[in-house]
Amino acid sequence: MKARGVDNDYIEYMMGHSVDTYHDIQMKGPEFLRGIYAASGLSIRPKTQISKLEMLKQVARAWGLDPDRILTTEAQAYPQRTYASPIQGNEHNTLLITAALKDAVKKDLSPRGIKSWPANGSPGEIRTPVSRFLQPLFLRGSRAD
């Protein structure tokens, strides 16, 4: 409780130890102490954490995608597909949403009017014109040029 920011006097009082401010703490009543204990967030059970699939769904929603529609479309496209375990199904759904997110990010970040970066060079590529006289001899061409 001390690591959670609860005052040392309250901790000592809750454990039954005598403290200097015993009467001050006792006057606040048991509901006050229950509130402090509840606010500290201590529990026997571990806190539930959301799964990777649920986190991806939240990210997809933030990018303006509908993850439930993506999964429904895939399920309708392959109605005969079955999985040996729920874990495999979740992994497949994770891959589907990840692919949809990749496409959304690529679409959002790609420059307008350019279909693909490799055909026109990478976006960070620096093209420096080189003088004909700085090129090696075999690239310069004939003297008639």
- What is the tens place of the pLDDT at every residue in 101-122? 999 888 888 766 445 555 555 5
Residue 78 lies in a domain: yes
Residue 69 lies in a domain: yes
13 and 58 belong to one structural domain: no
Using CB atoms within 10 Å of the CB of residue 95, give its burial: 0 to 12 exposed, 13 to 18 middle, 19+ buried: exposed
The rounded mean pLDDT for the chain is 79
Asked whether the beta carbons of 60 and 96 are under 8 A apart, the reply is no
87 and 60 belong to one structural domain: yes
Residue 61 lies in a domain: yes
**Residue count of the chain:** 145
User: pLDDT band for position 69 (50/70/90)?
Assistant: very high
33 and 59 belong to one structural domain: no
73-88 b/e (C-beta count within 10 Å ≥ 16 → b): eeeeeeeeeeeeeeee
Q: What is the pLDDT of residues 8-46, one digit of tens each?
A: 888 888 888 888 877 788 888 889 888 888 888 887 777
Expressed as residue numbers, the domain containing 34 is 8-40
pLDDT of residue 113: 44
Q: Is the pLDDT of residue 98 over 90?
A: yes
pLDDT of residue 124: 60
Domain count along the chain: 2
pLDDT-above-70 percentage for the chain: 76
Provide the H-helix boundaries in the chain.
8-14, 22-28, 30-40, 52-62, 67-77, 86-109, 117-120, 137-140
Query: Which of these ranges, 6-10, 65-69, 120-124, has the smallest mean pLDDT?
Result: 120-124
pLDDT of residue 145: 46
Residue 116 lies in a domain: no
